[in-house]
Structure 1
Amino acid sequence: MTAAPDGQDEGADDSTNSRDYVSSLARGLDVLRVFNSTRRKMTLSEVAAETGNTRAGARRILLTLVREGYAVADGRLFDLTPKVLELGFSVLSSKGTWDIARPFIEHLSEEIRESVSAAILDEYNVVYVSGTQFHRVISVGITVGRRFPAHCTATGRVLLAALPQDQWPAMLDSVPLTRMTDRTVTDREEFRKILEDVRDKGWSLVDQELEIGLMSIAVPVCTFSGDIIGAVNVGIPTLRMTPEGMVNEILPKLQTTVENLSSALRR
């Protein structure tokens, strides 16, 4: 991509309002890409020529990258530093997270003889990214990619509860509390108290709020940096388990599984 001159918004597609297009950011990305494509140190003049920037514009971008630690200057030559890897590391590592998680999920499923799944938060929904179904006459099967409302699922509640405290007011005002069953909590003040309890306990139990006859319990998953990136969930039909059984029998095994998984992610 050739960067647009200062003040112009070329390069945005038809679905993007030109006022939302940050041309200076696009020019900075062009500079990063040109180093990646040439795989060599470059002078200011070379960067300007390769990207279509003016020398003054290229200089400002390069010096900004140097100041932020993403580039170094060696005399007349500029080069990128390994810090640029941070820009994509979180995305790449999260994609591999659930491959790492799968053996832990499968082991827990075999141990408790029930279905186990993992989900991430996408605004006010949860998206299932991994899981295994234990085949019984009556079983809980959730396919990868399936979405459910976060407010009435155990995974959704532990992930909403883990949001930074300053995001809670907006979240509590905006999250749709759609009634899925006659047990679904739809009162916002009650929902806030539930999330506070989930945050304090570190786990969530949902009893037939998504679907009558289904209970689920979930625990959040942390990365090496301590960030919560998803949750592991056990779903069991109510005819096979009571809420007390979920807490006393299933939760300790689920917590141990997630602790072991989180340790593996920190290595």
Structure 2
Amino acid sequence: MSQDLPPSLDTSAGLKPGDSYVQSFARGLSVIRCFSAEAPRQTLTEVAKRCGLTRAGARRILLTLETLGYVRADGRLFELTPKILDLGFAYLSSQALWQFAEPLMQQLVSELHESCSAAVLEGQDIVYLLRVPARKIMSINLGVGSRLPAWCTSMGRVLLAGLTPLALQNQLAGVRLQAYTARTVNSLDELKHRIEQVRQQGWCIVNQELEEGLVSLAAPIVDRHGETVAALNIGAQVNRYAADELVERCLPKLLDTAQQISRLLQLKT
């Protein structure tokens, strides 16, 4: 795969074609993933470069996707079509959790007047699967399918805290620390300490580590085996609530909602 792709998207490194791995299918998925908010429309050459493919290989995949209705061409530029959402909806509609979580999240937002999101761990990132906004609180445009680095987000740390020690060790080995703000954790030792704190207390507060002015509070959603399968969070601006105020006002209701979702998940799976 080309180094132009984010590391979290490079899932085929070291894999070889065989009975358990279809290289052409993997390349097709890499072409889909190379489209983003930063590159919504691309030429054939750009797609080939971003995916580490030859122009001929990229062309075959793009034309196949166009025939299936997942991509459209406008002159030399290619872009995804709304039909691509079918792929993500297949996951959402097949998971019992998301069918009953949203009404409870909407109720929480109506009570707290702050945005609520749910996410799962995917590689080094959290992936947003549900979001009920109260207002725009981040300059980052968040929606279903959005990704953020797990290590410096409240939901990400909740999900990391739910891993086994070996799984957590493997996750942290791939972390690339970055100073998003002056408050961002700047050492792996401190990050490990904060994740352990989350594990012990059962929730997480992240105060302006990802973006100045943003404070977020997260709690785990657990299955019948007690394993953390998702995380739920509330995000607010510090000009409305300082971190300690957010904990005092919102944590009890957030924990209650996460527990309600967990109980429903345990009953229905």
Band the TM-score falls in, shorter-chain normalisation: 0.5 to 0.7
TM-score by length of 1: 0.64
Question: Higher Cα Rg: structure 1 or 2?
Answer: 1
In structure 2, the residue matched to 1:45 is none
Q: CA deviation at 1:126?
A: 0.5
- Separation in 2, partners of 1:226, 1:101: 18
Change (3 A) 1:152 1:16: closer
Superposition deviation, residue 208 in structure 1: 0.6
Unaligned residue ranges in structure 1 (runs of 5+): 1-14, 24-90
Measured at CA, do residues 94 and 204 of structure 1 come closer, stay the same or move farther in structure 2, by a change above 3 Å?
Answer: farther
Unpaired runs of 5+ residues, structure 2, are 1-13, 22-90
| Map of 1:100 onto structure 2 | 100
The aligned counterpart of 1:177 is 177
Q: Give yes or no for contact 2:115–2:132 (8 Å, CA) kept in 1.
A: yes
- CA positional deviation for 1:172: 2.2
Identify the residue that residue 168 of structure 1 maps to in structure 2. Answer: 168
Secondary structure of 1:195's aligned partner: helix
The within-5 A match list for 1:127-138 is: 127-135=127-135
SS of 2:209's equivalent in the other structure is coil
Cα distance in 2 for partners of 1:230, 1:94 equals 15
AA aligned opposite 2:143:
T
Cα distance in 2 for partners of 1:94, 1:164 equals 26
Distance 2:93 2:164 in 1: 22
User: In 1, Cα distance between the equivalents of 2:244 and 2:92?
Assistant: 39
Query: Shift of the alpha carbon at 1:169?
Result: 2.4
For residues 26-57 of structure 1, give each alpha carbon's deviation from its aligned partner in whole angstroms, at most 9, with x where no partner exists.
Answer: xxxxxxxxxxxxxxxxxxxxxxxxxxxxxxxx
Contact 1:133 1:142 in 2 (8 A): no
* Stretch moving more, 198-207 or 164-173: 164-173
Q: Residues 199, 266 of structure 1: CA spacing in aligned structure 2 closer, same or farther, 3 A cutoff?
A: same
What residue is the counterpart of 1:118 in the other structure? Answer: 118
Q: Distance in 2 between matches of 1:226 and 1:198?
A: 16
Show CA shifts across 1:151-210 (max 9, x none).
110000010111111223222222222221121102011111111101111111001111
Measure how far apart 1:94 and its partner are: 6.4
- Counting aligned pairs with the same residue, the percent is 36
* TM-score, reference length from structure 2: 0.63
